[in-house]
Structure 1
C-alpha cells in the first residue's frame, strides 16, 4: 500500500510541476485517471486493511462478552455456584485483562508498519553516497596548470543507453571554453561528468580544486522560494559594491528596479514570478556572487534575447569572470570567437576541439559580425549597460501579486472546528450509512448492558432464593421454566448466551459498516480534492506552493484514510458506552449519582482546556510540516546546484531547523496528552475511593440487593476509564478532523473549469468543425494576470489571415507570452474581445477552446510514462502516426535509444532540447487550426532549429501559427511580424517591409544581432 501511495504522491508532484502545460493541452482527464489508477491500487490494500480492522473491532467489542460467557458457563458446569463476589470480581478482573488483549492487534499492526518503514528507510540509506575523493583522480603532474583534465573518460547515466565515450581534453586556469553540438549530443552530460554527477566507468577525471566546488548554472534554472536578494546571496554575506556589480553584469539592475519591492520581491516557488530569461540571470548572479574558481554555464543564453546575451557575455562572462575558468555550453557559436578552447560533441563523443578558428565553421562571419556589434554602443532600444527601457519588466507581466504581496503562506485557523467540517466527512461517507451505524452501535451497547444486567439479575435471584420475574415466565410457559434448580440454571445460561450471541452479531455488522463508511469517506474526499485542485484556477497555483498541496495529498489524506475512521469508531463506541454505563449504574444503585455528579464539571473543565490546546497544537503541527515538505522538494529539485556549490551542510541545517520546528510541536502535543492523563488518573483514584465508601456503607446497612450493587460498583469502577477515554478520544477526533478542515479549505476554492464553465456556457453552440480557418482577432485588448496589477497588454488590436504565420518579437517583458496567456484564457482579459473565426472565445468553455488549439510551450513538460503516453496522452493516434511524427522532428534515434514507444521515460531521460522536440511532436499530432509556439527552439542548435522551422512550415501550412521567438531567424520567413514593446504593438508588417525601414524596431533587432 505504501508503494502505491508513493506512486500517487510522485505523480501528483509531477502534475503540480507541469500544471500549466496540462491546462493548456486539456490533459486534466488523463492525469486524473492516472492518479485514480494509483489510488485504486492503494485503495485495494486499504480495503483489505479496513476489513482486518473490522475483524479486530469485532473482537474488541465482543471479547468481554465471549470471555465472560465462556468463563461463567465453565464455572457453573464444573459444579460451582455463582455469587455476587465471584461474578463481579471476575468481571472487574476480566475488564482489566480485556484492554491489553484488545490492544494487541493494533500494536501488532503498528509494529509491522514500523518494520516496513524501517526497511524502506534502510534501503535508502544503503544507497552509495557521493564519494568525490574516489571519483576524482590526482593530477598527472604536480606542475600541471590544468584545472580540469579528463583522460580517456567514459561515463554513463546508469539506466539510460546514452554514454559519453573517449572523452579527452584539458582546461587551464582562466580559460574560456565553449561546448557546442547538436541536440542530444552530450553537452550537458559532459559538464555533469566534470561535477561528478555522472557515473564514471573508466578513465580519469582530475580537478585539483574540486573541494571548492563549481559556479554552476543549469540549463533549467533552479531558484528557491524567497526574494531575489535571498537567491543571489545564497547564504553569503551582503557586500553592497559586489552585489551591485554582479547585478549590473548579469543585466538585472533595471529588472530589479522595475519590480515591486525591488530585490526584496518574492519570486515564488521555483521563481515562478519571473520570466525564463530573468530566472536564468538570477541563477547566473547567484553563481557569480559566490566567487568560485570554476564556472559551468549550461546554455544560459538561450533564455534571453541576443542583445542581453551579448551584454552578459561581455560584462559578466568576459568581464567580472575574466580571471576565472569558464565552461560555457551554448547554441550561439558566434559568442565563442574569443574563446580559448571550443569543444564540439556529437553522439556522446568529441568530434572537434581546438581554437574557435579551427572548430567554428563560420568563424570569419562571426568575427565580422562581432566587430560590427562592438562598434555599436546604443540602439533604438537603448544601451544594455545604461538605461534600457526594454529591459524593464513591468509588474503586469509577472505572475505574482503587486507590491507588498507575496506568495500565499498557509493560513492557520484558530478556535474550535466548525460543524461544517464534521458535515463534510459525514456527507462523504454517505448520509444513509450513518443511521445504520448509530442503530447497530445502540443495539450492541444495549445488548451488552442487558447481558450484564441479566447476570446481576441471575445472581440476585439465586442469592435471595426467589425467581423474581421468572415466576411470571413459569406461569406463562410452565414447560419452558421448571421449578428445579438445574432447569433454572439452564434457563439463565440460555438467555445469557442468546444475548451474548446477539451482541456478537450486531458487533460484527457494526464493525463492517464502520469500515465501509470510512472507505467511502476517504475515497470521496480524495476524489473531490483531486478534482478541485487539478481544475483550480491558474491563480491558485501561482500563489500556493506545491509543498502546501502535497501536504494535503500526503499527510492529510493519510490521516483521513487511516487514523480518522479509527478514532471516530472509538468515539461513537465510547459515547454509547458512557450512556450505557451511566444508565445501568444509576438504575442498579441510584446512590452512585453522589459519586458521578461531581465528575461532570470536573471532566468538562478538563476537556475544554485540553481540547483548546491540543487542537491548536495539531494545527501548528500540520503547518510546520508544509515548509518541511517544501524544503525537501526544493532541495531534491536543486540537488545538482547545491552539491556543485558545496552548500550541502547549509541545506542539512535548514532541514534540521524545519524538522526541529515540527518535532517541538509534536513534543508539545505529547506533553499536553500526558498532562491530561495525569489528571484523569488522579480523578480515577478519587472516584474509586468514593465507590469503595459506598460499598462499605452497603455492607453495613445492607438495604439493597447484592447483585445490583455489584453491577453498579463494577460499572462505576470502569466509568472513570470510560470518561477519560471520552475526553481523550473526543479531543483526538477533533485533532484528526483538522485534516478534513484543511482539505475542506481546498474544496471551497473556485473552480477553473472544465465543469463549472462548461455548465455556464452549455447553451452556447459551436459551429461544426470550428475553427475552420484559424482567423485570430484581437480587438482593443487589455490584459493583466491579476486584477490589481498594471496591464501587460495595452490596446492590442490585430487580425490574422487564414493559415498565416505570425512572428511575435520584442524585448524581455514586452508582453509576448501574454499574447498566448490571453488567447488560452489563463486569465480573463479586462477589456476588448478576442475572436477565432468570428467566435468570441470568452463565451466558450475552456475545454472547447483549448482543445481546438495547439501549443508548444517555453518550458517542456515530460512526465513519467511511456514515450507513447508523452506524445499522445489521450491515445488518439496509432503507432505508425507516432513514428512518422518522430521522424519529422528528428527524434527517431533518440526514442529508439531509450527503448521505443513503450519505454518509460522521465524528464531527465532526454536532453532539454529533445524534450522541446517532444512538445513539437505533440503539436504536429494535434493538427490544430491555431498553433502557438512560445520560444520552442530556444534550446536547439542552429542546424536543428533550421530543420524544425522547415517542419513547422510543412506540417502547419494549413494552420495559423503564432511564433514567439528570441531569434529573428526563427520568424524571418513569417508572413508578418508583430513587434511588441511595453505591452503595446510597435509594428506589424511583413519582415521584408520592416527590414527596408532602417528606423524600424524590427530592423534594429535584426541589425543588433537578435538572430
Structure 2
C-alpha cells in the first residue's frame, strides 16, 4: 500500500494491521470467553462445595455431582486456554504481524531513495523494535477480557459483601490514576532508549564492516571506546524506562495485595469460612485483571511507540525514478512513459540510448552538484567521463540510474536501458560465493559466465582461491583484494543481459597490467562490449584510455565543461588538452596463459577446511550454546551482574514467596504468579468459634502487614535485577564482546558473516536488557512460591547495495528471497511457543486431576470447609504457578542463550594478541624507521604452523620476503592485483602472521616485530588504508579528522587547508558541522584520510619525534592526476624524514621514490630504482610503466 497516505494519522499503521489481521485477531475471542466462563465457575464451585461441607449430613449423589463439576470446570479451563484454541490463535496472530512488519520494512528499504532514511534506524527497526512489539502484543486479548472479568467479579462481590466492594475499586482508581501519569513519560523514555540503541547498533555494524581499515589506521581502540560510551548512555536511557516499568508493576500489585485486607476490615457482614474464601476468590478475579491491565499498558505503549517509529519509516520519501522511458512504437508514433510528461519536448533519436536535457542533480535540496547538464550517450559506444575530485562524476552515474534525490530537467532513456549493469565506486558484493555474486538472479549460462570470467581476468585469481568460484568471499567481499572486488563487480555487470552499462571508477584498485588487459578485453576494438554493441558510460581517473573513447564528457565547476570525441577535444583549448595525452595504438602487452575452465572449480585444497572451520567453529559453538544453558553460562551472567546483587535478588525473592504464601491464597497477575493460603485459615477458624480471641481488625492488620512486606520484597528484587543487574551485566558483557571483536584477527572478519556478529550486538544484547532480567525475576519468584532471536545478513547486504540491486532490476527477486528468509526465521520461534503451550496444557490437566482428587477427598472424608476452601483457592492459580516456572524457565533458557552466544563468541574468537608481545615501544618509536625482512613467509591464519593440528603446509600470502629498507627512504610496492602488495603492509601492522620459524626475521628499528604489542604498534606507525573510515553520520568534521582529540581547531583547519579541503568544509558549516561519509566524494575521503595521517605526524613532531614510518595503501586510487600531484607534494614535504612504504598502481606517483619493489603471487620478483628499472629491457617494472603509459 501507499504508506504516505498515513501521514497525519498517528495510529495509521495500527489501523492497517487491524484491518489486515481482522480474522486472526478475532479468532481467539470465543475461546477466551469460554476460558472466562470456566474461570468464574471456580469460585462458584468453591462456594457450593464449602456450603455442602458445612452441613452435618452429606448427600452422596450431590458429592458425585461436585466431583463431576470439578472435572468439567478444570478440564474446560485447560482446553479453552490450550494452544489448540486461545493461545494458538494469539501466537499465530503475533507471528503473522511480525512477518508482515519485517517484510514491509524490507520492501520500504528497497524503495527508499539514497539518503532518505538512516540505515542504522532501519537496522534497529528490524531487531530491537520488533522484539518490543512482540512483547507488547503478548497480553493484547487479556486487556478486554480483564475488563469484563473485573465487572462481573465486582457485581458478584457486591452480592456477597455489600457496598464494601467499593474499597478495592477505590484502590484500583487511585492506582490507575498514577499509572495514567506514568504513561505520559513512557513514550518519551522509550524513544530516547531506542534512539540510543539505534546509534550504538549502527556504529557497531559500521565497525564490523570496516575493522580491517580501522586496524590499519590505528583507530580501533578509539572507536571501541566510543562505542562503549554509547552503550553506557544507552543503558542509562533504558534504566529510566525500566524505572517507570517497575513503578507501574508496583501500582499493579497494590490493588490485589491491599484490597483483601481493606475489604475484610471494613465489611459489616459476618465472615465465615465460606464467605471469606468465596469473597477472596472474587477479589482475586476483581483485582488481578486490573493488575494485568496495569502491567500490560507499558509494554503496549512501548509497542505502539515502536509501531510509530516503523510508520515514520514507511512514510519517508520513496525513491522517485525521475527518468522518462521512451519507446519507439512505429516509425511515426512515439510513446513516453514516466513522470513529468508535460515537460517532455522530444524523444530520443535512433543514434542515442540516453539523453539528459538541462539536468540539475544534487543530494541536498537547493544544493546541486551538477547544474544545467545536457548530453547524450551514443548507442553502441563507449563514453568516458573525466574530471577533478568532487566534480560530480559519481552523481552523473546515479542520475542515469534515477537514484539522485533532487533533480530538475529531463533524463530520457530507451526501453532497452531500463535495467543497467552498474558498478559502484565502492564495489558492492553480497555474502556468498563468487559465482553467486556474478550470476545473481539471472539464469545461469555457462558460455556467458566463462566469457565474463575471461574478460575480467578473474580466471587466474579464482584458481588461487580455496574452492575456486564456489569460495565464499564473506561480507563485503572481505576475502578479496580491492582490485578483485572491482573485477567481480564488473563481471556481474557484464553477465547481466542489458544494453546499458554504467561503470563508476572500476579501475581504481587495478594495477596497470591488469587494467590494460581488462580494458582491452572488455572495451577494446574486439572487446566483449564492442561485440555486444552495448552502450557504456565509464567514469574514471585513468585518462590514458581517453583515446579509445567514442565520446568524452569532461566535468568541472558543477557542469559539463566540454564534450565530444577525443580527436576534437585534443585540439581544443580545454580540460582534455591540458591532460597532455597522445593517441596510441593497440596494446602489445603480453599475458600469461589463463588457467583452464576446469581449474576454476577443481582448485580445492585444505585451506578451505581451515577457512570453513573457523566460521563453523563459531557457528557450532554458538548453536550448542543455544541448545544447552549450562551452569557455566549462569555463573557467567551472575558474575557480570555481581554476586552480591544476585544474592540479594534470591534472598528477597524468597522473602516474597514466604510472605505471600503465609498471608493468603493464590492470585495470578500479569507476568508474575504466586499462591497464598495458610493465614486466612486461622482467621476463619478463630472468628467462627464461640469465643474469638481477636477481632477481625486484628487479623486484617496482620494480613496487611504481610502484604506490605510482599511489596517491599518485590521492589528490592525488581530494582536489583532490572536496574542494577542490567546496567552492570549489560555494560560488562558488551565491553567483553567489543574487546573480543576489536582484538579478533583479520582472518575472523574474512571468514565470518557480519550478520552473525551484528546480531550479537543488536538482538542478543536487547534480550539481555529486556527479556532476560524479566525471565530471571519471574523464574525465581515462581520457584519460591511453589516451594513455599538470518535475514539480518540479507538485510544488511540489501542496504549496502540498494543502488546496484535497483539498477540490475533484482528488487522483486530480493523481496522474494527476504520473504523466504523471514518465513524460515519465524518457524523456530513459533514452534517453541507451540511447545510451551502444549506443556501448559499438560500442566493444567495435572491441576484438573489434583482438583478432582481434592474434591473426592473433601466429599468422601467430610473435610473442614475452611481447609477445603483454602485448598481450592490455592488451586485457582496453582497451575499457573507450576506452568509459570516451566514457561518462564523456558524463556530464561531462550534469553540466557544470548549470554551463551556472547560467551561462546568470547571463547571461540581468540585474540590476535599473544603472550610473547611484551614490548611496548616509547612514543618516539620508531626513531629511525629501519625495516628488515629476511626470508619472511606469512599467512593470515592465527597459527599457520599448526593450524587445526594439521601437518600440511599452510597457504601463504607472502613467501620468502627479503627486503631491507633504510631509515628515511621512500619505497614503492607494485604488482598486479592479488600479488601480495597489501599483504606486505598488513605484515608490518601484524594483521598478517609470519610463520613461527621466520618470525624472528622481521624487525623494525632492530626490534623483533613479533614481540611488539599490536595496539601500540598501530599507534606508533602511521598508516593510511585504501578505503577511508569515518565516525557515525552526524559526527563533526573535527572529530573525524582527530578521533583522539589531541589537536586544536586551528591545527585541524591548517591540515584541511594543506590537503585542499578547507573551502569545501567551510561551505558546509566548518569544523563543528555534522558530516557523513556521503558528504565527500571518494577522492575527498582519501584526502581527509591523508589529512588524518598528517595530523598524527604533526602531533608526533610536537612531542619531539619527526621520524617514523608511513604506510600508504592505494591512497590516490580515486583521485584525479592534479589531486594526485598535491598528495605527492604533501608526502614529499611533510614526511620527508619518514620511511615511506607505499602501495600504488599509479606509477607516476612513485617515479621519484628511492626504490620500487615488484611483487607477484606473494613473492618479490624485482627490486631497484624506478627510473633504472623503467629503462631496463625485460624489467617487470618497465613492462608496468610501458603499459600505464599507453
1:501 aligns with 2:708: yes
SS in 1 for 2:364: coil
Q: Distance in 1 between matches of 2:602 and 2:1096?
A: 34
1:508 positional shift: 2.9
Q: Distance in 2 between matches of 1:630 and 1:767?
A: 42
Q: Which residue is 2:719 aligned to? A: 512
What are structure 1's unaligned runs of at least 5 residues? 471-486, 581-621
Q: Which residue is 1:10 aligned to? A: 202
SS in 2 for 1:171: strand
Bigger Cα displacement from structure 2, 224-233 vs 358-367? 358-367
1:287 positional shift: 0.8
SS in 2 for 1:985: strand
Instruction: Map residues 75-474 of structure 1 onto 2, 5 A cutoff.
Output: 75=267, 78=268, 80-132=269-321, 133-134=338-339, 140-141=346-347, 143-158=349-364, 161=367, 163-209=369-415, 212-318=418-524, 319-322=527-530, 323-360=533-570, 370-371=584-585, 374=587, 376-378=588-590, 383=591, 408=616, 410-411=619-620, 412-413=623-624, 415-452=627-664, 453-465=678-690
Q: Is contact 2:235–2:730 with CA below 8 Å preserved after alignment?
A: no
Q: Deviations over 1:307-339 (max 9, x none)?
A: 222222221123111111111111122202131
Q: Is contact 1:393–1:812 with CA below 8 Å preserved after alignment?
A: no
1:490 positional shift: 4.3
Q: Which residue is 2:809 aligned to? A: 646
Q: Deviations over 1:534-572 (max 9, x none)?
A: 332222222222211111111111111011111211111
Bigger Cα displacement from structure 2, 979-988 vs 866-875? 979-988
1:737 aligns with 2:947: no
Q: Distance in 1 between matches of 2:602 and 2:1117?
A: 23
1:377 positional shift: 4.7
Instruction: Map residues 991-1006 of structure 1 onto 2, 5 A cutoff.
Output: 991-1006=1170-1185
1:229 positional shift: 1.2
TM-score by length of structure 1 reads 0.87
SS in 2 for 1:6: helix
Q: Which residue is 1:656 aligned to? A: 819
Q: Which residue is 2:937 aligned to? A: 782
Q: Distance in 2 between matches of 1:726 and 1:364?
A: 80
Q: Is contact 1:514–1:569 with CA below 8 Å preserved after alignment?
A: yes
Q: Which residue is 1:901 aligned to? A: 1071
1:799 aligns with 2:1009: no
Bigger Cα displacement from structure 2, 446-455 vs 949-958? 446-455
Q: Is contact 1:139–1:206 with CA below 8 Å preserved after alignment?
A: no
Q: Which residue is 2:1054 aligned to? A: 884
1:752 aligns with 2:911: yes
Q: 1:819 aligns with which of 976, 984, 987?
A: 984
1:70 positional shift: 0.8
1:720 positional shift: 2.3
Q: 1:850 aligns with which of 1013, 1018, 1022?
A: 1018
Bigger Cα displacement from structure 2, 687-696 vs 298-307? 687-696
Q: Distance in 1 between matches of 2:1096 and 2:558?
A: 32
- Cα gap change, 1:901 to 1:406, in 2 (>3 Å): same
Q: Which residue is 2:741 aligned to? A: 533
Q: Is contact 1:394–1:813 with CA below 8 Å preserved after alignment?
A: no
Q: Is contact 1:691–1:717 with CA below 8 Å preserved after alignment?
A: no
Q: Which residue is 1:725 aligned to? A: 884
Q: Distance in 1 between matches of 2:707 and 2:503?
A: 77
Q: Distance in 2 between matches of 1:269 and 1:820?
A: 22
Q: Distance in 2 between matches of 1:397 and 1:974?
A: 39
SS in 1 for 2:1077: coil
1:180 positional shift: 0.2
Bigger Cα displacement from structure 2, 561-570 vs 878-887? 878-887
Q: Which residue is 2:850 aligned to? A: 687
- Cα gap change, 1:669 to 1:197, in 2 (>3 Å): same
1:866 aligns with 2:1045: no
1:342 positional shift: 0.7
Q: Distance in 2 between matches of 1:186 and 1:398?
A: 47
Q: 1:808 aligns with which of 949, 953, 973?
A: 973
- Cα gap change, 1:1006 to 1:507, in 2 (>3 Å): closer
Q: Distance in 1 between matches of 2:1012 and 2:904?
A: 28
SS in 2 for 1:301: coil
- Cα gap change, 1:385 to 1:220, in 2 (>3 Å): farther
- Cα gap change, 1:829 to 1:264, in 2 (>3 Å): same
Q: Deviations over 1:597-653 (max 9, x none)?
A: xxxxxxxxxxxxxxxxxxxxxxxxx3xxxx201101100100110111111101111
- Cα gap change, 1:393 to 1:690, in 2 (>3 Å): closer
1:188 positional shift: 0.6
Q: Which residue is 1:551 aligned to? A: 759
1:916 positional shift: 0.9
Q: Deviations over 1:176-233 (max 9, x none)?
A: 1110001111111111111111134321111122763111111111111111111111
1:954 positional shift: 0.6
Q: Distance in 2 between matches of 1:406 and 1:284?
A: 30
Q: Is contact 2:1083–2:1118 with CA below 8 Å preserved after alignment?
A: yes
SS in 2 for 1:988: strand
1:661 positional shift: 0.9
Q: Distance in 2 between matches of 1:488 and 1:433?
A: 41
Q: Is contact 2:421–2:493 with CA below 8 Å preserved after alignment?
A: yes
SS in 2 for 1:851: helix
Q: Distance in 1 between matches of 2:516 and 2:705?
A: 92
Q: Deviations over 1:256-313 (max 9, x none)?
A: 2332222112111111111111111111111111121111111111211122222222
Bigger Cα displacement from structure 2, 806-815 vs 397-406? 397-406
Q: Deviations over 1:118-174 (max 9, x none)?
A: 211211221232343227875713655321111111111026945210101112211
**How well do the aligned residues superpose, as a CA RMSD in angstroms?**
2.9
Q: Distance in 1 between matches of 2:922 and 2:704?
A: 75
1:560 aligns with 2:768: yes
- Cα gap change, 1:64 to 1:737, in 2 (>3 Å): same
1:491 aligns with 2:661: no
SS in 1 for 2:374: strand
1:62 positional shift: 5.1
Q: Is contact 1:552–1:743 with CA below 8 Å preserved after alignment?
A: yes
Q: Which residue is 2:78 aligned to? A: none
Q: Which residue is 1:974 aligned to? A: 1153
Q: Distance in 1 between matches of 2:804 and 2:209?
A: 19
SS in 2 for 1:238: coil
Q: 1:665 aligns with which of 801, 822, 828?
A: 828
Q: Which residue is 1:596 aligned to? A: none
Q: Distance in 2 between matches of 1:777 and 1:358?
A: 52
SS in 1 for 2:737: helix
- Cα gap change, 1:398 to 1:821, in 2 (>3 Å): farther
1:399 positional shift: 11
Q: Distance in 2 between matches of 1:406 and 1:895?
A: 44
1:396 positional shift: 13
Q: Deviations over 1:469-507 (max 9, x none)?
A: x6xxxxxxxxxxxxxxxx644433443333333333333
Q: Distance in 1 between matches of 2:506 and 2:495?
A: 16
Q: Is contact 1:867–1:901 with CA below 8 Å preserved after alignment?
A: yes
1:885 positional shift: 1.6
Q: Deviations over 1:362-389 (max 9, x none)?
A: 7699875622x53x252xxxx167579x
Aligned residues: 930
SS in 2 for 1:304: coil
Q: Is contact 2:466–2:607 with CA below 8 Å preserved after alignment?
A: no
1:6 positional shift: 1.0
TM-score by length of structure 2 reads 0.74
